[in-house]
Protein backbone atom coordinates (compact mmCIF):
# COMPACT_ATOMS: atom_id res chain seq x y z
CA UNK A 1 0.00 0.00 0.00
CA UNK A 2 1.22 3.52 -0.84
CA UNK A 3 1.92 5.94 2.03
CA UNK A 4 1.37 9.71 1.89
CA UNK A 5 2.82 12.05 4.50
CA UNK A 6 0.30 14.88 4.98
CA UNK A 7 3.00 17.31 6.07
CA UNK A 8 5.57 19.76 4.73
CA UNK A 9 7.88 19.05 7.69
CA UNK A 10 11.45 18.48 6.54
CA UNK A 11 12.26 16.79 9.86
CA UNK A 12 9.47 14.23 9.52
CA UNK A 13 10.40 13.55 5.89
CA UNK A 14 14.06 13.03 6.86
CA UNK A 15 13.10 10.56 9.60
CA UNK A 16 11.00 8.48 7.20
CA UNK A 17 13.68 8.61 4.49
CA UNK A 18 16.39 7.54 6.93
CA UNK A 19 14.22 4.60 8.04
CA UNK A 20 13.79 3.59 4.36
CA UNK A 21 10.01 4.09 4.44
CA UNK A 22 8.64 4.80 0.93
CA UNK A 23 6.27 7.78 0.91
CA UNK A 24 5.09 10.81 -0.98
CA UNK A 25 4.65 14.18 0.75
CA UNK A 26 1.34 15.95 0.15
CA UNK A 27 1.02 18.73 2.76
CA UNK A 28 -2.41 19.29 4.29
CA UNK A 29 -3.80 22.81 4.46
CA UNK A 30 -5.89 23.04 7.61
CA UNK A 31 -6.59 25.98 9.91
CA UNK A 32 -4.59 24.80 12.92
CA UNK A 33 -5.41 27.89 14.98
CA UNK A 34 -9.16 27.39 14.55
CA UNK A 35 -8.91 23.70 15.51
CA UNK A 36 -6.79 24.49 18.58
CA UNK A 37 -9.17 27.24 19.66
CA UNK A 38 -12.22 25.00 19.25
CA UNK A 39 -10.81 22.12 21.26
CA UNK A 40 -9.25 24.25 23.98
CA UNK A 41 -12.51 26.19 24.40
CA UNK A 42 -14.17 22.84 25.16
CA UNK A 43 -11.51 22.12 27.79
CA UNK A 44 -9.83 19.30 25.86
CA UNK A 45 -6.44 18.05 27.05
CA UNK A 46 -3.35 19.18 25.08
CA UNK A 47 -2.70 15.59 23.95
CA UNK A 48 -6.19 15.52 22.52
CA UNK A 49 -5.51 18.76 20.64
CA UNK A 50 -2.37 17.28 19.07
CA UNK A 51 -4.31 14.14 18.13
CA UNK A 52 -7.16 16.14 16.58
CA UNK A 53 -4.70 18.18 14.49
CA UNK A 54 -2.93 15.02 13.26
CA UNK A 55 -6.29 13.43 12.41
CA UNK A 56 -7.55 16.53 10.57
CA UNK A 57 -4.43 16.54 8.37
CA UNK A 58 -4.67 12.81 7.62
CA UNK A 59 -8.38 12.97 6.83
CA UNK A 60 -8.10 15.97 4.53
CA UNK A 61 -5.52 14.30 2.30
CA UNK A 62 -7.12 10.84 2.58
CA UNK A 63 -10.42 12.10 1.17
CA UNK A 64 -8.60 13.19 -2.00
CA UNK A 65 -6.39 10.09 -2.39
CA UNK A 66 -8.36 6.85 -2.52
CA UNK A 67 -6.45 3.61 -2.09
CA UNK A 68 -3.64 5.15 -0.07
CA UNK A 69 -2.65 5.28 3.58
CA UNK A 70 -2.20 8.85 4.81
CA UNK A 71 -0.06 9.85 7.78
CA UNK A 72 -0.98 13.00 9.67
CA UNK A 73 1.32 14.30 12.43
CA UNK A 74 1.32 17.18 14.85
CA UNK A 75 3.19 18.33 17.91
CA UNK A 76 2.23 20.76 20.64
CA UNK A 77 4.32 22.27 23.42
CA UNK A 78 2.87 22.56 26.91
CA UNK A 79 4.56 25.02 29.26
CA UNK A 80 3.19 26.03 32.67
CA UNK A 81 -0.32 25.01 31.64
CA UNK A 82 -0.21 26.96 28.38
CA UNK A 83 -0.25 25.52 24.88
CA UNK A 84 2.58 27.32 23.08
CA UNK A 85 2.25 27.97 19.34
CA UNK A 86 5.02 28.25 16.75
CA UNK A 87 6.85 31.58 16.76
CA UNK A 88 6.28 33.89 13.80
CA UNK A 89 9.66 35.63 13.91
CA UNK A 90 13.07 35.62 15.56
CA UNK A 91 12.06 38.17 18.20
CA UNK A 92 9.27 35.83 19.35
CA UNK A 93 11.73 32.90 19.30
CA UNK A 94 14.14 34.84 21.53
CA UNK A 95 11.29 35.58 23.97
CA UNK A 96 10.11 31.97 24.06
CA UNK A 97 13.57 30.51 24.66
CA UNK A 98 14.18 33.06 27.43
CA UNK A 99 10.90 31.93 29.08
CA UNK A 100 11.76 28.22 28.74
CA UNK A 101 15.33 28.39 30.06
CA UNK A 102 15.90 26.74 33.42
CA UNK A 103 12.42 25.16 33.33
CA UNK A 104 10.60 22.03 32.17
CA UNK A 105 8.16 21.77 29.30
CA UNK A 106 6.40 18.91 27.55
CA UNK A 107 6.26 18.04 23.88
CA UNK A 108 3.18 16.06 22.87
CA UNK A 109 3.51 14.33 19.51
CA UNK A 110 0.53 12.74 17.77
CA UNK A 111 0.24 10.55 14.70
CA UNK A 112 -2.83 9.42 12.78
CA UNK A 113 -3.21 7.11 9.81
CA UNK A 114 -6.26 7.51 7.57
CA UNK A 115 -7.54 5.22 4.86
CA UNK A 116 -10.52 5.91 2.59
CA UNK A 117 -11.44 9.01 4.59
CA UNK A 118 -11.44 7.42 8.07
CA UNK A 119 -8.90 7.15 10.87
CA UNK A 120 -7.57 3.60 11.16
CA UNK A 121 -4.77 4.12 13.72
CA UNK A 122 -3.50 6.82 16.06
CA UNK A 123 -0.75 7.29 18.61
CA UNK A 124 0.17 10.03 21.12
CA UNK A 125 3.46 10.28 23.00
CA UNK A 126 4.77 12.83 25.51
CA UNK A 127 8.36 13.83 26.27
CA UNK A 128 9.51 16.10 29.09
CA UNK A 129 12.50 18.36 28.58
CA UNK A 130 14.30 20.71 30.95
CA UNK A 131 16.35 23.53 29.51
CA UNK A 132 19.52 24.51 31.28
CA UNK A 133 19.99 28.04 32.59
CA UNK A 134 21.98 29.46 29.68
CA UNK A 135 23.18 33.04 29.45
CA UNK A 136 22.02 35.74 27.06
CA UNK A 137 25.30 35.50 25.15
CA UNK A 138 24.69 31.83 24.39
CA UNK A 139 21.09 32.56 23.41
CA UNK A 140 22.17 35.23 20.90
CA UNK A 141 24.88 32.96 19.48
CA UNK A 142 22.37 30.12 19.16
CA UNK A 143 19.77 32.28 17.40
CA UNK A 144 22.39 33.71 15.05
CA UNK A 145 23.78 30.30 14.13
CA UNK A 146 20.48 28.48 13.68
CA UNK A 147 18.57 31.33 12.04
CA UNK A 148 14.98 31.24 10.82
CA UNK A 149 14.88 27.47 10.39
CA UNK A 150 14.16 27.43 14.15
CA UNK A 151 10.72 28.84 13.39
CA UNK A 152 9.68 25.51 11.82
CA UNK A 153 9.57 23.83 15.26
CA UNK A 154 7.13 24.64 18.03
CA UNK A 155 9.92 25.04 20.63
CA UNK A 156 12.35 26.93 18.38
CA UNK A 157 14.99 24.25 18.69
CA UNK A 158 16.22 21.22 16.80
CA UNK A 159 17.44 18.56 19.21
CA UNK A 160 19.33 16.92 16.33
CA UNK A 161 21.42 20.10 15.94
CA UNK A 162 22.89 22.80 18.16
CA UNK A 163 19.58 22.80 20.03
CA UNK A 164 20.89 19.85 22.06
CA UNK A 165 23.09 22.37 23.91
CA UNK A 166 20.00 24.08 25.32
CA UNK A 167 19.06 21.12 27.50
CA UNK A 168 19.90 19.80 30.94
CA UNK A 169 17.66 16.69 30.81
CA UNK A 170 15.46 14.98 28.26
CA UNK A 171 12.94 12.30 29.25
CA UNK A 172 11.19 10.52 26.41
CA UNK A 173 11.54 9.07 22.96
CA UNK A 174 14.03 10.85 20.70
CA UNK A 175 11.87 10.47 17.58
CA UNK A 176 8.83 11.82 19.43
CA UNK A 177 10.81 14.93 20.32
CA UNK A 178 11.61 15.34 16.63
CA UNK A 179 7.86 15.17 15.92
CA UNK A 180 7.42 11.63 14.61
CA UNK A 181 7.15 8.73 17.13
CA UNK A 182 8.84 6.31 14.74
CA UNK A 183 8.85 2.87 16.37
CA UNK A 184 5.08 2.52 16.92
CA UNK A 185 4.55 3.90 13.42
CA UNK A 186 6.93 1.35 11.87
CA UNK A 187 5.08 -1.46 13.66
CA UNK A 188 1.78 -0.28 12.18
CA UNK A 189 3.27 0.20 8.71
CA UNK A 190 4.54 -3.40 8.84
CA UNK A 191 1.07 -4.57 9.84
CA UNK A 192 -0.42 -2.63 6.93
CA UNK A 193 2.12 -4.02 4.45
CA UNK A 194 3.70 -0.65 3.65
CA UNK A 195 7.11 -1.97 4.71
CA UNK A 196 8.39 -5.54 4.99
CA UNK A 197 7.82 -7.48 8.17
| CA 25/CA 58 separation, integer angstroms | 12
Bridge partner residues of 87 (DSSP):
none
Alpha helices in the chain (DSSP H): 10-18, 32-41, 46-62, 90-100, 136-146, 174-177, 182-191
- String of b and e for 149-178 (b: at least 16 CB within 10 Å)? ebbebbbbbbbeeebeebeeeeebbebbbb
Active site residue 74: yes
Q: How far from the centroid of its chain's Cα atoms is residue 31's Cα? A: 16
Active-site choice (31, 44, 74, 125): 74
| CA 63/CA 95 separation, integer angstroms | 39
Catalytic residue positions, numbered: 74
Amino acid sequence: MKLILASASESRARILQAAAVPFEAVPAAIDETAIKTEFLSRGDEPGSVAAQLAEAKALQISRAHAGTLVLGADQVLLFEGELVSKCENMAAARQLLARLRGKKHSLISALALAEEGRIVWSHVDTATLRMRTFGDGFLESYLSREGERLLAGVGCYRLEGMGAQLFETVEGDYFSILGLPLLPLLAELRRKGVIAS
